[in-house]
Amino acid sequence: MSSSSTPPPRLFEAREPVFPQRVSGWFRRLKWWLMLFTLGIYYLTPWIRWDRGVSLPDQAVLVDLANARFFFFWIEIWPHEFYFIAGLLIMAGLGLFLFTAFLGRVWCGYACPQTVWTDLFILVERWVEGDRNARIRLLRSKWGSRKWRLRVTKWIIWLLISVATGGAWVFYFSDAPTLLADLATGRAAFVAYGTIAVMTLTTLVFGGFMREQICTYACPWPRIQAAMMDEHSLNVAYRNWRGEPRGKLGKAEGDCIDCLACVNVCPQGIDIRDGEQVECITCALCIDACDNMMEKIGKPRGLIDYCALSDEENERAGQPIISVWKHVLRLRNIIYFTLWALIGVVLVVMLYIRSDFSASLTPDRNPRFVTLSDGSIRNAYDLRLSNQTGASRSFHVSIKSEDPLRLELQGQSVLDVAVPADETIHQRVYLYAKPAYLAAGSESSPVRFWIEETSTNERSFVDTIFAGDTR
Amino acid sequence: MKKQKLTDEDYPTTGHVWDGIREYDKPMPRWWLITLYLTIIWGIGYTIAYPAWPLISGATPGLLGYSTRGEVAEEISAVNALNADIEAKLLATPMEDVAADPDLARFASAGGSAVFRTYCAQCHGSGAQGFKGYPNLQDDDWLWGGDLTALETTIRHGIRFETDDDTRYSEMPKFGEILEHEEIEHLTDYVLSLGSKDHDTISAEHGAALFAENCTDCHGENGEGDREQGAPKLADALWLFSSDREEVTKTITFSRFGVMPAWQGRISEAQIKQVTFYVHQLGGGE
């Protein structure tokens, strides 16, 4: 309740600028390497070439939306094999469960594009404008030539990174060298420029200006993760039982000397000593900052550290620190990992046993059968044959059924169908039953279509029915 | 001037309590408020630029002159422009050669399927399976011929469509005005016997003589029909108006007069070729 002496808080509040200070240490080094690794994958992947023969693209990773194909090195996925993508998404979901149960918001802190690009943008900011104190001074200074020069330089570099980010994205959807030439000469499709423009804008605004606001207000993950963690999940935390009561060096009873190093390096602008909070992305930079300080004043490291909620009780009771492995190897994590690995193994097995051609068959429903002038019954089917290789192939069609039904392919005198490389063709197929056959007078009789590759003799079948006239 | 930092205790709560948990009523970020205002401005601009405000009859047209109908028309003309080349190729290719070119065949059967479903399905059924009195186009029985040329002629000029001078024409006499009731019964039995249906053998024997006298000019000596005159083959398993005794008697007594409209001039030349090809490849084409 607000009393008359304290004015009620405003309904809307401006963003508090955050000036993360430079820090060095184990986690900072790890994050630099991870940034190099993830950005490297993102920017360079479209440029890797992979020879698939003349009629297929030679880009290693390509989402070919126009032809509905997904290429990943030696793997080619067709739309009917989308379950591979679904499987990967399920693995990604289970992977998030696993890592959240084990390490809390480790995705947020290390691998989320919002974190990685913000980190890169802050690095640029530091190169151009200087470290924390210089940046604070610059913010407070008047808009003179120096401030304009530094700000404009920073914005231009940010913009270039943003354009490169949006630009790299579109290369995943088209042949990269061709598209780059088209983009440069103004011949690329409008959708390419539009996508680059949108991605440039979002990268610039999210990485340069919104930063922690995206994590705190726009992202659902901070809310979801609460349901996935438990008291054994490792999180960046402050050992307040060791640090409190805090105070100036030499006067404090606890280990915390209130130097604010952990607050100054925080990209989210929070104080980790307030406990677990929704804004914290567990980037672990405060661990580095605090460890450096503890080393200087000769205290043990780990005042801020990865620890679990369950550690607090133990450590307050004077027990030794529980090893990380005990937090990792527990039933919940093992179940998540088993499920994750199981789906992975199934996907890999399916990838290697799948056929490089596929056949499917749809009986004509309208009409289900046609009576011919000699009284025999004909059924028509739409046979779809997909040739998932880079070379043209031929397939022999045959059937197996109770009655010796006659098979005929529309417009062909033979029972072979040629399918060009990387294509799906539709072939109309007829089955004839003489009036005396059982199938001619039965509601439905089973028929098995055999499709045989003529050179390798690889076979596959499709089961269907023959509809007769029961009148 | 240093701002006073507010602590959690300084904020009011919304008053909602659940299981002892209360909800802070903290300020929203300012950019969020600005975004809200921007969307309102965008919304106003949108209703000015595009058709939006309902009036008594119609709506405000919007400054950009956008309409969904206009968009569809644009899409249709874009597709037509894309098809212009292959359509010209189809027009230049003789009907018999279309099947040999896979691209052309695909274009013709896809386009023909659309034409069929628009103009032909009302009588012949969406699967070309036909109905009583409307021929099934999937079977191997054709009144006026089932090769590409015959099909094209039928589609162009129709059947008994009197406003077209080249239409296919024939008329069966109403034997009810010529023969006695008993004679028609005999004929009925004979026609049923031609199609191997249940019939009275003695009556059919009488009918045979009557058939030879009255029907063979068109339907042939053995009921094999005559495509020149559109006279159905009677000695087969297919019956345009069912093989019920009453229906056969009715046909002989009152005759039938099936009409199909001529499509030349109503659909484009390319559409005529497409639908001809489509019907021909349904399974009965000769």
> B11: which chain A residues are within 8 Å (Cβ-Cβ)?
9
Ranges of H-type helices in chain B: 30-49, 68-92, 102-115, 121-124, 148-157, 181-194, 201-214, 216-219, 245-254, 269-280
Amino acid A244: pLDDT: 84
A29 has pLDDT over 70? yes
Terminal-residue alpha carbon distance, chain B: 96
Q: Do B140 and A15 touch (CB under 8 A)?
A: no
Q: What are B162's two structure tokens?
A: 């009197």
Least confident of A20-24, B14-18, B40-44: B14-18
Distance CA B52, CA B59 (A): 6
Q: Do B31 and A6 touch (CB under 8 A)?
A: no
CATH code of domain B77-165+266-280: 1.10.760.10
For residue A378, the chain B residues in CB contact (below 8 A) are: 138-139, 283
Give the separation between CA A195 and CA A198, rounded to whole angstroms. 5
Other beta carbons within 10 Å of B58? 8
Whether residue A364 lies within 8 A of chain B, CB to CB, comes out as yes
Give the pLDDT of residue A5.
54
Measure B252 CA to nearest chain A CA, in Å.
Answer: 21
Do residues B259 and B123 make contact, with C-beta atoms less than 8 angstroms apart? no
For residue B197, give the DSSP letter.
-
Q: pLDDT at residue B3 above 80?
A: no
Select the residue from B139, B148, B196, B279 to test the A interface by mutation, using most A Cβ atoms within 10 A.
Answer: B139
Q: Across residues B41-67, what is the average pLDDT? A: 92
pLDDT of residue B177: 93
A234: pLDDT strictly greater than 50: yes
pLDDT in tens, A430-457: 999 999 999 999 999 999 999 999 988 8
Please report residues of B whose CB lies closer than 8 A to that of A4. Answer: none
Q: How far is CA A316 from the centre of its chain?
A: 40
Facing B238 at nearest CB: one of A8, A373, A380: A373
pLDDT given at position A8: 63
The answer to whether residue B4 scores a pLDDT higher than 90 is no
Examine the pLDDT at A83 and tell me if it is beyond 60: yes
Instruction: From chain B, pick out residues whose CB is under 8 angstroms from the CB of A9.
Output: 6, 10-12, 26-27
- A56 sits in the region (left: phi over 0; alpha: psi -120 to 50; else beta) called beta
Nearest CA in chain B to A408: B283
CATH architecture of B175-254: Orthogonal Bundle (1.10)
pLDDT in tens, B14-41: 888 889 888 888 888 899 989 999 999 9
A51 reaches B (C-beta below 8 A): no
Q: Which residues contact residue A470 at a Cβ distance below 8 angstroms, ignoring those fewer than 6 apart?
A: A441, A442, A443
Q: How far is CA B262 from the centre of its chain?
A: 16
Interface test with B, best of A12, A271, A408, A412 (most B CBs within 10 A): A12
Residue A325 phi, psi (nearest 5): -60, -30
Cα torsion A173, A177, A179, A185 to 10°: value is 170
If we measure between CA atoms, which residue out of A123, A151, A156, A106 comes closest to residue A39?
A123
Q: How much is the pLDDT for A3?
A: 45
Mean pLDDT, all residues of chain B: 92
User: B29 and A10: CB-CB below 8 Å?
Assistant: no
Beta carbons of A410 and B283 less than 8 Å apart: yes
B42 vs A: CB within 8 A: no
Tens-digit pLDDT profile for residues B165-183: 999 999 999 999 999 999 9
pLDDT band at A6 (very low <50, low <70, confident <90, very high): low
B55: DSSP letter: -
Residue A2, pLDDT above cutoff 50: no
Domains of chain A: 357-466 (2.60.40.10)
B105 contacts in chain A (CB < 8 Å): 411
Separation between Cα atoms, residue A26 and residue A147, nearest integer Å: 34
Query: Is A83 touching B (CB cutoff 8 A)?
Result: no
What separation in angstroms does the CA of B27 have from each of A33, A206, B33? 38, 21, 10
Interface of A with B in 199-238 (CB under 8 A): 210, 213, 217
Q: Please check whether residue A279 touches B, CB under 8 A.
A: no
| Test mutation, B7, B28, B95, B138, chain A, max A CBs within 10 A | B138
Residues B204 and B189 sit within 8 Å (Cβ to Cβ) = yes
pLDDT score, position A11: 75
Give the chain B residue nearest A435 (alpha carbons).
B237
Q: Using a CB–CB cutoff of 8 Å, tell me whether A397 touches chain B.
A: no
Residue A344 is predicted with a pLDDT of 95
Asked if A407 and A396 count as a contact pair (C-beta separation under 8 A), the reply is no
| 3-state SS, residue B170 | coil
SS3 readout for chain A = CCCCCCCCCCCEECCCCCCCCCCCCHHHHHHHHHHHHHHHHHHHHHHCECCCCCCCCCECEEEECCCCEEEECCEEECHHHCHHHHHHHHHHHHHHHHHHHHHCCHHHHHHCHHHHHHHHHHHHHHHHHCCHHHHHHHHHCCCCHHHHHHHHHHHHHHHHHHHHHHHHHHHCCCCHHHHHHHHHHCCCCHHHHHHHHHHHHHHHHHHHHHCHHHHHHHCCHHHHHHHCCCCCCCEEEECHHHHCCCCCCCCCCCCCCCCCHHHHCCCCCCCHHHCCCCCCCCCCHHHHHHHHHHHHCCCCCCCEEEECHHHHHHHHCCCCCCCHHHHHCCHHHHHHHHHHHHHHHHHHHHHHHCCCEEEEEEECCCCCCEECCCCCEEEEEEEEEEECCCCCEEEEEEEEECCCCEEEECCCCCCEEEECCCEEEEEEEEEEECCCCHHHHCCCEEEEEEEEECCCCCEEEEEEEECCCCC
A428 touches chain B (CB under 8 A): yes
Q: A9 pLDDT band (50/70/90 cuts)?
A: low
**Dihedrals phi, psi of A112, to nearest 5 degrees:** -65, 130
Q: B33 touching A, CB under 8 A?
A: yes
pLDDT score of B12: 81
Q: What's residue B159's pLDDT?
A: 96
Domain ranges of chain B: 77-165+266-280, 175-254
CA-based nearest distance B38→chain A, Å: 16
Kindly provide the b/e burial profile for residues A136-161, where b requires at least 16 CB atoms within 10 angstroms of the residue's own CB.
eebeeeeeeeeeeebeeebeebbeeb
B198-221: pLDDT as tens digits: 999 999 999 999 999 999 999 999
CA atoms within 13 A on the CB side of A255: 21
Nearest to A374 among B28, B29, B237 (CB): B237
Contact criterion met (CB < 8 Å) for B236 and A373: yes
Q: Tell me the pLDDT of chain A averaged across its residues.
A: 91
Distance of alpha carbon A201 from alpha carbon A205, whole angstroms: 6
| pLDDT over threshold 80, residue B5 | no
A150 band by pLDDT with thresholds 50, 70 and 90 = very high
Taking contacts as CB-CB distances below 8 angstroms, the residues of chain B near A410 are 281, 283
Of A210, A372, A410, the CB nearest to B281: A410
Average the pLDDT over B56-79 and give the result.
Answer: 92
pLDDT of residue A208: 94
Of A1, A2, A380, the CB nearest to B283: A380
Residue of chain A nearest B125, judged by CA positions: A366
pLDDT of residue A1: 43
Contact B30 A12 (CB under 8 A): yes
Distance from the B163 Cα atom to the nearest Cα atom in chain A, whole angstroms: 32
pLDDT at residue A354 is higher than 70: yes
pLDDT band at A106 (very low <50, low <70, confident <90, very high): very high
Q: Which residue of B has its CA nearest to A366?
A: B127
- For A275-322, what is each residue's pLDDT tens digit? 888 899 999 999 999 999 999 999 999 999 998 888 888 888 888 888
Say how many CA atoms lie within 13 Å of B1 toward its Cβ: 1
Chain B within 8 Å of A7 (Cβ-Cβ)?
A: no
* Minimal-distance CA residue of chain B relative to A426: B106
pLDDT at A123: 96
Q: Does A13 touch chain B (CB under 8 A)?
A: yes
Give the pLDDT confidence of A261-280 residue by residue, as tens digits: 999 999 999 999 998 888 99
CA distance B55 to chain A (A): 35
Predicted confidence (pLDDT) per residue in A390-405, tens digit? 888 999 999 999 999 9
